[in-house]
Amino acid sequence: MQTKRQITDSEKQQIIEEHGRVCFVDGTPIPDEDAVEFHHIKAFSKGGLTNLDNIAPVCKSHHRTIGTMDLQEYRDKIALDNFFGDGEPKYLDDLIREKRGHCGDKLVYEIEGETIRVYLKNSNYKFPLYVCPTTGWNYFYANIPVEFIENDKDLQPRAIRKNSLWNLYRHFQVNTQLAPSICRMDEDRTLRLFDGQHKAAAQIWAGRQTVECKIYLNPEAIILKETNLEAHGKFRQMSFYSHELMKKYADIFGEDWNQYMETEGEKSELGFYYFLVNIKGKTKAKARNEISLAMYNELIDDSGNKLSLYLSEKTAVEHSRSHLHG
């Protein structure tokens, strides 16, 4: 396990010679009368090494407000605040133009039997072509360069929510994307994204050059609109029961605790908390939540806790059935 260390005065001078007396966060010169401070570009808690390539100069003001973020994340946060700063609604198109300069390039493709050949910039790629058994629509999966995507104004008229975007940005720093964004392409060969705009926007803001997409070819827009509305309405997936959620956190807690026990030194609850924050890279709030819910789960599963039968509809029903058949 790597250990954190202080950089030497000679190393600080080398970093200043490399970057100049300029704050890495916003490029503002640091006055001669102000002290230059230093911070990891990739956070130590995320595996960033304390070497000259991963340390940059920052001004005192930014160093005091960066918190647990690394420098790149902090720069993206400030840029995001500026992006939303005028108070006007922002859409996926606006965000792509902000990050990539333009959007909505036409996608050239050819159908070749049960495959589709897609031409992206100077290369072409072949993907399996699937058929929806209900509608008969063709669709395929691909990583699409950001410039080929635009927001589907007909099926997805909502503006991007800043807080949702930022939370997903941080989520995707350490987690994979479980499901693709969903797009449609009509005869004009414009790729319109209508589901998953926030996760696409979050990854684009983080610097991703491609978006994982499921793409329908020439679908009926009205049917997609009705499907999308019902999927986010009466067919919306139910949230976890409280007990189920605590069990999932307890499983994560168990894995993290086992990793913590393999580290050197004395062990304590507070030490485990610092392990979650400094080594696993979790936010303080997320670390506290994991520990708290794991403790609650232990109490609920205790054989002497008679209230655990009434925590959710599921467990209450199971309890009722056992009495009916007992």
Joined together, the tokens standing for residue 272 give 């485990």
58 exposed, middle or buried (CB, 10 Å; 0-12, 13-18, 19+)? buried
Q: Does domain 92-231 have CATH number 3.90.1530.10?
A: yes
What are φ and ψ of residue 4, in 5° steps? Answer: -80, 145
Q: Which pTM value belongs to this model?
A: 0.72
The per-residue pLDDT for range 97-118, each reduced to its tens digit, is 999 999 999 999 999 999 999 9
Torsion of Cα atoms, 77 then 78 then 83 then 89, to 10°: 60
The per-residue pLDDT for range 22-72, each reduced to its tens digit, is 999 888 999 999 989 998 888 776 777 787 888 999 999 898 888 778 888
Domain made up of 9-81: CATH architecture? Orthogonal Bundle (1.10)
Alpha carbon distance 47, 50 (integer Å)? 10
Which pLDDT band, with edges at 50, 70 and 90, does 211 fall under? very high
Joined together, the tokens standing for residue 294 give 């794991």
| Nearest one of 9, 18, 10 to 57, comparing CA atoms | 18
CA 212 from centroid of its chain's CA atoms: 13
Dihedral sign for Cα 224, 233, 183, 141, please: negative
Q: Which residues of 125-137 are buried (b: 16+ CB within 10 A; e: fewer)?
A: eeeebeeeeeeeb
Domain boundaries, the chain: 9-81, 92-231, 242-324
- Are 116 and 194 in contact, with CB atoms under 8 Å apart? no
Which whole number is the average pLDDT over 287-292?
86
| Nearest one of 193, 199, 214, 216 to 141, comparing CA atoms | 214
